[in-house]
């Protein structure tokens, strides 16, 4: 059942306050991709165990598969049943129109990423579209996140090593971050400091000195995308610097797929896949979420909402 506008505005106001709490208290929200109900159960289980607030997020693919309002209802049902502090982020929304639909559906966080759909989008196009979403988000008070360029990698298991000389060409700079934040009025800046979408055969390396410089240059929230395969000490330092949102996807999907493959092979006569998912997969994914929440210093930060 759709939320009323006053309900949406209340949720968004709480979410904004909590992001400020995270920054002041030096912890970060884990933003975990929601593929299906089993993934939501895994995130909920970890959040309950550690009493940690969480975001779940969906990109356009999940929106197309599940539906914006179905996602909103599913998360709200879990929120009511388990008493967890949980919010929804629309991740890498590829157009102004799609972002506006997320705002109208009551998502507390909106990530507008024009360069996702058009890698060659100009700075002017990205700024103009982002500012339009920022202006529209005033309807509900949703927090808007963006970045001034295409963010590399993808939701895949990559076989090649990371070419950091190439990746460094897309790193954020304090100057460009400040210009983008000032030009758009966004609430959260998605920094690129070595974080990269996907899983690779080598661990990722974050430029923490660059992250510090970006933190000093801008006064809005900072997020890190592409958190999978990143050694935990980088996250622990990043939250001390002032990062308040870290996205995790591929590590969860890897655990889901590998565990499901294993239990399917071990139970060839079981035709109820949902039983196998409930028996083994949810625990495997939940363990990934737990480990990240501990690195993000968000355990025991949950409040009643």
* Angle, vertex CA 144, rays to CA 140 and CA 145, nearest 5: 165
Please give the C-alpha separations between residue 280 and each of 4, 130, 139, 284, 289, in angstroms, as whole numbers: 38, 41, 42, 6, 15
User: Distance between CA atoms of 175 and 218, rounded to whole angstroms?
Assistant: 9
Exactly one of 35, 64, 73, 91 is catalytic; name it. Answer: 91
Known active-site residue 35: no
Nearest to 227 by CA among 145, 153, 303, 121: 153
Strand locations in the chain, DSSP E?
29-33, 54-58, 86-93, 109-112, 143-146, 153-157, 188-191, 197-199, 221-224, 245-248
Is 92 in contact with 113 (CB distance < 8 Å)? yes
Nearest to 96 by CA among 83, 111, 81, 112: 112
Please provide the distance, in angstroms rounded to a whole number, between the alpha carbons at the two ends of the chain.
19
Side-chain-side CA neighbours of residue 255 (13 Å): 22
Enumerate the active-site residues: 91
């Amino acid at each position: 059942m759709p939320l009323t506008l006053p309900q949406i505005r209340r949720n968004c106001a709480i979410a904004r306050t909590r992001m400020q709490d995270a920054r002041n208290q030096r912890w970060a929200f884990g933003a975990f991709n929601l593929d299906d109900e089993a993934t939501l159960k895994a995130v909920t289980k970890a959040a309950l165990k550690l009493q940690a607030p969480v975001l779940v997020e969906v990109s356009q693919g999940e929106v197309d598969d599940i539906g914006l309002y179905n996602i909103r209802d599913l998360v709200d049902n879990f929120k009511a049943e388990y008493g967890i502090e949980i919010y929804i982020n629309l991740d890498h929304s590829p157009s102004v129109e799609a972002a506006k639909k997320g705002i109208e559906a009551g998502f507390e966080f909106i990530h507008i990423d024009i360069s996702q759909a058009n890698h060659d989008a100009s700075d002017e196009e990205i700024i103009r579209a982002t500012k339009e979403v920022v202006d529209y988000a005033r309807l509900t008070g949703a927090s808007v996140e963006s970045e001034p360029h295409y963010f590399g990698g993808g939701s895949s298991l990559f076989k090649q090593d990371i070419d950091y000389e190439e990746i460094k060409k897309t790193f954020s700079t304090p100057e460009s971050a400040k210009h983008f934040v000032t030009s758009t009025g966004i609430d959260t800046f998605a920094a690129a400091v070595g974080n990269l979408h996907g899983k690779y055969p080598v661990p990722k390396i974050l430029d923490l000195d660059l992250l510090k410089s970006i933190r000093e240059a801008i006064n809005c929230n900072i997020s890190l995308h592409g958190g999978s395969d990143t050694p935990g000490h980088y996250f622990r330092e990043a939250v001390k610097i002032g990062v308040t949102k870290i996205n995790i996807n591929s590590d969860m999907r890897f655990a889901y797929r590998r565990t499901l493959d294993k239990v399917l092979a071990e139970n060839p006569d079981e035709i109820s896949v949902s039983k196998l998912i409930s028996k083994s997969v949810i625990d495997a994914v939940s363990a990934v979420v737990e480990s990240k929440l501990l690195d993000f210093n968000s355990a025991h930060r949950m409040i009643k909402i």
